């Protein structure tokens, strides 16, 4: 399993240790430092699946990268609605918040092509 998800300097969550910081990334291994526990952990093929960009419980998690604050994104409240553009601010209680303080259930990153 080649690591194409995590990058050096990113904040990640593991249910066993809480929030940590990726400090080294190789093809098959990700190293994370957990400051509160003063623990460094090496993630390889089976346990890399425990890393998430959002805090999770045993009910589920995601390795989909969150947008960065200030990034232009597509959002909508209901699955059947049309997408709107918004400026991403943060991820709060399972919803995406834009820079106007509105909350959205669905959010997609997109890329401009010159």
Per-residue pLDDT reduced to its tens digit, 48-85: 888 888 877 666 666 666 777 788 888 888 888 888 88
Using DSSP, state whether 58 is helix, strand or coil. Answer: coil
Q: Where in the sequence is the domain holding 85, given as residue range(s)?
A: 72-109
Torsion sign (Cα): 61, 88, 10, 64: positive
Domain assignment present for residue 76? The answer is yes
Q: How many helices (H) and strands (E) does the chain have?
A: 0, 9
Domain assignment present for residue 38? The answer is yes
Q: How many domains does the chain have?
A: 2
Domain assignment present for residue 105? The answer is yes
Domain assignment present for residue 114? The answer is no
State in Å, rounded, how far the first CA of the chain is from the last one: 32
Domain assignment present for residue 42? The answer is yes
pTM over 0.85: no
| Contact by Cβ (8 Å): 26, 5 | no
Tokens matching residue 33: 């430092």
Domain assignment present for residue 67? The answer is no
Domain assignment present for residue 60? The answer is no
Domain assignment present for residue 99? The answer is yes
């Amino acid at each position: 399993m080649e690591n194409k998800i995590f990058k050096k300097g990113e904040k990640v969550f593991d249910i066993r240790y809480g929030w940590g910081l990726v400090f080294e990334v190789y093809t098959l291994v990700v190293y994370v430092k957990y400051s509160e526990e003063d623990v460094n952990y090496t993630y390889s093929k089976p346990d890399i699946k425990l890393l998430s960009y959002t805090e999770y419980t045993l009910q589920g998690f995601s390795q989909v990268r969150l947008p960065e604050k200030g990034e232009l994104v597509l959002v909508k409240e209901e699955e059947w609605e049309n997408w709107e553009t918004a400026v991403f601010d943060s991820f709060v209680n399972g919803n995406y918040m834009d820079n106007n303080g509105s909350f959205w259930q669905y959010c997609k990153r997109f890329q401009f092509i010159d």
